[in-house]
Structure 1
């Protein structure tokens, strides 16, 4: 009896590549339907006329500018391995943000790392190490923020489950990073029989170099500034809707949004973003359901549309399309032939 396995064993069933995308989009659609299934659109239109749009414009400006602090932090992390021009880091980040808004599964993280690799001739695994450290620091701060928020507000069960998952992931990644930082020789003892072993070795070396550098405490401090600045646009939007809530309320919304969207999803985390915003505003801060749903939609607009515009400008300077860069980044990650350098 014939088999599909070249070794004569049972046939290996593989999930079709499109299945994950279908699941992600179905989840996003389900979240949107759950949040807005009873939303009264006719009642909301007159309310929009009473929104203080100056506060909304301030939120837009602050949300766009906050990523300059991310570029500053990124440069500090990369300092032990390369000196990257600040504006080049800014450009790579905004192109990555643009990709996150139009492509699923947060593809912008891969793209921004690839761009610095091509532009500044930094080995891709080293740039990837810096992004990994960024996410680890952010994860630690979010868990700390969750602990503080839980002291002042009752968290929905959905958020608590997400936090435990995040804490587990951060603990595993943190343990690996600490081991890499303290045991540099580990990288040199890894096998070289596999195609990815050299890439992994360089990632470990990058973690070691950045984690033990004198600039690492400055990067942690910059991460604090980066996360704190993200409170400003949320506070501005609360004020724009006439909700005279304290700064702590904006911090609660930020923590829930960041925790709820930490798992890669649909472009812009549509649906999941709306659900987390609604849960934070309605279930935790006591905002009425109609206003909470409206404000969640406004927050998504403020976060998404300006970043699309800024990212489109940054992308236009490269002379390439985002799908072309995405394809090249995946080829580079797999160790295939490098593409021609993009314009800076």
Structure 2
């Protein structure tokens, strides 16, 4: 299979899956269900939706501030405007091509702030590792709050977490073996890869060299508190979901977070996953679907709007460079 075809499939397949799941969700509802869903969306209290959007936007600002803390140990301090716009453009790019946003983000800083691509990309990889750790922490907290409920749900779906952990362990061992041989190679092409990876490593280790570790931890906790807060605020927009507690919100949040990685921007999967969890906790399907679609649509529109504005304004912001 050619590289061009593989690249196209990486774009087309997730989009196709997303469209299929939208169609599937539609087919799984009766005309009466669809009427109730639309009614819930129309009658939602959009004051809470706007507050949720504000929380989402604030999380992007905090991510931009945190990024500078990671770049400082390497001698770089980009302007906050460039950081923020690079992040918003990255989220927009990920809606079209999964994982392309990270490349766009590092390229933007390389172009306008002269941060070497490999070092900038290394800090982004470090961010992703930290974000994964935070997500796992939320999963653990959710599991501790309702262990019996979550384990019953996994058992019902046939998910065995032990196999997943063993697979990750095997991948980790294979990666260590690969690094060992890469460090000893004399093949020119592999030496270039080694040099690139060392640049990434410098970006990754910048976390341990930063002066303001407390601020970094504070921003990280703040970002994830705002992520959960977006869910918490949206619940008040629909009468039936307004009584949801932290246990149910965390479970729906975790489902949505994992769903985001399956298709471009979580199209089709995100509302379905969130709705399934809420229905599992006793919310009607109409209200669960409405919650999922309001949450996904509002956040996606925010990314499209601010990402597009950032893309257009970025060259003017850096006109003197």
Q: Is TM > 0.5 for Structure 1 vs Structure 2?
A: yes
1:29 shift after superposition: 2.6
The answer for unaligned runs of 5 or more in structure 1 is 1-12, 321-340
Structure 2 CA distance for partners of 1:42 and 1:140, relative to 1, 3 Å: same
**Is 1:128 matched with 2:121?**
yes
Structure 2 CA distance for partners of 1:136 and 1:307, relative to 1, 3 Å: same
Equivalent-residue separation in structure 1 for 2:237 and 2:125 (angstroms) = 35
**Aligned counterpart for 1:234 among listed residues 231, 237, 247:** 231
In structure 2, the residue matched to 1:288 is 284
Relative contact order: is structure 1 or structure 2 higher (C-alpha 8 Å, sep ≥ 6)? 2
TM-score between the two structures when normalised by the length of structure 1 = 0.76
In structure 2, the residue matched to 1:87 is 81
Equivalent-residue separation in structure 1 for 2:168 and 2:213 (angstroms) = 22
**Aligned counterpart for 1:47 among listed residues 37, 40, 46:** 40
Where do residues 310-329 of structure 1 align in structure 2 (5 Å cutoff)? 310-319=306-315
Structure 2 CA distance for partners of 1:342 and 1:117, relative to 1, 3 Å: farther
Equivalent-residue separation in structure 2 for 1:166 and 1:120 (angstroms) = 40
Structure 2 CA distance for partners of 1:230 and 1:160, relative to 1, 3 Å: farther
Quote the RMSD (CA, aligned, Å): 3.4
Where do residues 45-194 of structure 1 align in structure 2 (5 Å cutoff)? 45-81=38-74, 82-101=76-95, 103-153=96-146, 154-155=149-150, 156-157=153-154, 165=164, 191=186, 193-194=188-189
The answer for unaligned runs of 5 or more in structure 2 is none
The C-alpha deviation readout for 1:156-180, integer Å capped at 9, x for no partner, is 4369568975996599679979xx9
Checking the alignment, whether the CA contact within 8 Å between 2:256 and 2:274 is kept in structure 1 is: yes
The 10-residue stretch of structure 1 (131-140 or 160-169) with the greater mean CA deviation from structure 2: 160-169
In structure 1, the residue matched to 2:10 is 20
TM-score between the two structures when normalised by the length of structure 2 = 0.80
Q: What is the SS of the residue equivalent to 1:84?
A: coil
1:151 shift after superposition: 2.7
Q: What is the SS of the residue equivalent to 2:198?
A: helix
The C-alpha deviation readout for 1:57-92, integer Å capped at 9, x for no partner, is 212222222211111221111121111222221111
In structure 1, the residue matched to 2:261 is 262
Q: Which has the higher helix share?
A: 2
Q: What is the SS of the residue equivalent to 1:295?
A: helix
Q: How many residues align?
A: 302
Q: What is the SS of the residue equivalent to 1:317?
A: helix
In structure 1, the residue matched to 2:294 is 298
1:126 shift after superposition: 0.7
Equivalent-residue separation in structure 1 for 2:166 and 2:226 (angstroms) = 23
The C-alpha deviation readout for 1:246-288, integer Å capped at 9, x for no partner, is 344333322221123235x32x2201212221222222x3211
The 10-residue stretch of structure 1 (136-145 or 42-51) with the greater mean CA deviation from structure 2: 42-51
1:144 shift after superposition: 1.7
Structure 2 CA distance for partners of 1:20 and 1:92, relative to 1, 3 Å: closer
Equivalent-residue separation in structure 1 for 2:12 and 2:165 (angstroms) = 23
